[in-house]
Amino acid sequence: MKEYDIAVVGGGPGGYVAAIKAAQLGADVCLVEKEDLGGTCLNRGCIPTKALTASCDVVRNIKGARRFGIKVNDFEIDWSNVAKNKDRKVSQLVKGIEYLIKKNDIDFVSGTASFKEKNLLEISDNDEVSEVKAKNVIIATGSQPRVVPAFNYDGDKVVTSKELLELEELPESLLIIGAGVIGCEFASIFATVGVKITVVDVMSRLLPTEDEEISKNLARAFKRARIKTNLETEIQEIKTDEEGIEAIIGDRDSIEADMALVAIGRKPYTEGLNLDAIGLETANGVIEVNEYLETAVEGIYAIGDVTDEIQLAHVASKQGMVAVENILDEKQEMDYRVVPNTIFTHPEVASVGLNTQEAEEADIEIEVGKFFFKGNGKAVTLNETQGLVKIIMNAKDETILGGHIVGPHASDLIHEIALAIKSGLTVEELTDMIHAHPTLAEAVLEAAEDTMGTAIHG
């Protein structure tokens, strides 16, 4: 039997990147995936939701056409074709990964992997069973939506993001349980296409892990979009019938809707791996790794959501590359200090580094700079003036500690701040660079200048 240098279990953004990186470095690689390449991110997460978001951008532009002097008499949202466009984009990118796997001479095995021994995997694909032998194994099996019994999840009236993305017809109303990233993104999408949205969460604000000022700004945008929010509210039970759902709140109150989306987070997916066979224990499914991404079993590595470090696709991809380099004797620790986070609501939200609350808890003396998009020329021409850029500066050495944005193209703008933090730049070094005019990036410049009280347009 052939023995590979590395076998990667899971073809998501962590797994397929790890496989390609290993092949580029000369390793003999096998990639095992039971479904489509790209994992949850490409097939049931990041990409399909962004395709829907792009369609929603078109809807908003049509609705706001008169502000640009363009008359649009009537238009219709054809959800079935919106969904088909989403599926085409996903298919295109899946084929792209398939091409890359072939280009890099990676052996691809379709099926479900389970450990027989430390260096031996059994692959089951329908009625066929095969084996893969490898000196090292990278586990990249990702995560799955978290549900609780009281919500009576049935995949029909009570759904997760997976089923919601498969909708062929729009509901009239949707209850979203969870005001985190997934819940807020879907709230923006479905509210834009005319679905009545109610968001419920036990926390006191939307996006509770984001900077509080950014969160409040998004809450105002949701209110303008007629998205109802019931915060600090706990759902006791969800009842379903042919007409829809009823969410029971406390002793008397309830919320009715056609459907309910459960968006209360994700949990690591390790089912069927037979980790006991190699003596690898988990804590509620989480595989613990060291700074080199190696598990307690030598030669077995884990990356991505299954490690429960930071559940982001780009973190998984970086982990994949770091794990491969460590396997091939280029020791490198995984660095989580500068990880940009992007949320594709309307307006977009993005952050990196410390927020004001975290800086205060760490007893760091800070200066905060802000610039609102209503003062930015490019934002005004786009009619996208909601939101602001917020920069957190260390008051002692003037280095940049954090950046937070809510507004147009926040997901793109955040990377300038991330690079500044990664490079240890001071505010003066960032502001010394000439920013093109008119651009949204000037808002980052002005926010940085505001930390020193020198913003021109602030």
| Residue 50 in marked binding region | yes
Taking residue 357's Cβ as centre, other Cβ atoms within 10 Å add up to 11
Residues 6+ away with beta carbon under 8 Å from 135:
3, 4, 5, 6, 119, 299
Task: Return the sign of the alpha-carbon dihedral for residues 376, 381, 382, 386.
Answer: positive
Half-sphere exposure of 67 (CA within 13 A, CB side): 10
**Residue 366 among known ligand-binding residues:** no
The answer on whether 250 is annotated among ligand-binding residues is no
- Is 14 flagged in the annotation as binding? no
**DSSP string across 66-115:** GGGT---------HHHHHHHHHHHHHHHHHHHHHHHHHTT-EEEESEEEE
Is 15 assigned to a binding site? no
CB 383, CB 67: distance < 8 Å: yes
Whether residue 53 is annotated as binding a ligand: the answer is no
141 is in an annotated binding site: yes
- Residue 142 annotated as part of some ligand binding site: yes
Q: Where are the alpha helices (DSSP H) in 243-375?
A: 313-327, 356-361
Q: Smallest Cα–Cα separation from 130: which of 138, 120, 139? A: 120
Rounded Cα–Cα distance for residues 386 and 305 (Å): 33
Q: Please say whether the beta carbons of 351 and 211 come within 8 A.
A: yes
The residues carrying an active-site annotation are 437
Q: Give the phi and the psi of residue 27 in degrees, each rounded to 5.
A: -80, 155
- Distances from the Cα of 445 to the Cα of 399, 434, 458, angstroms: 14, 9, 11
> What b/e sequence results for 203-220 when a residue is b if at least 16 CB atoms lie within 10 Å of its CB, and e otherwise?
eebbbeebbebbbebbbe
421 among annotated binding-site residues: no
According to the annotation, is 69 in a ligand binding site?
no
Phi and psi, residue 418, nearest 5°: -60, -45
* 143 assigned ligand-binding residue: yes
Tokens matching residue 61: 């532009």
Q: Are 278 and 287 contacting, i.e. CB atoms less than 8 angstroms apart?
A: no
Distance CA 158, CA 289 (A): 35
DSSP state of 430: H
**Contact partners, residue 64, CB within 8 Å, separation at least 6:** 383
Q: Is 184 annotated as a binding residue?
A: yes
Q: Tell me: is residue 182 an annotated ligand-binding position.
A: yes
- Residue 419: helix, strand or coil by DSSP? helix
Residue 229 annotated as lining a ligand binding site = no
Rounded CA gap, 2 and 133, in Å? 7
**Residue positions in the annotated binding site?**
50, 141-143, 178-185, 265, 305
**Residue positions in the annotated binding site for NAD(+)?**
178-185, 265, 305
**Residue positions in the annotated binding site for FAD?**
50, 141-143
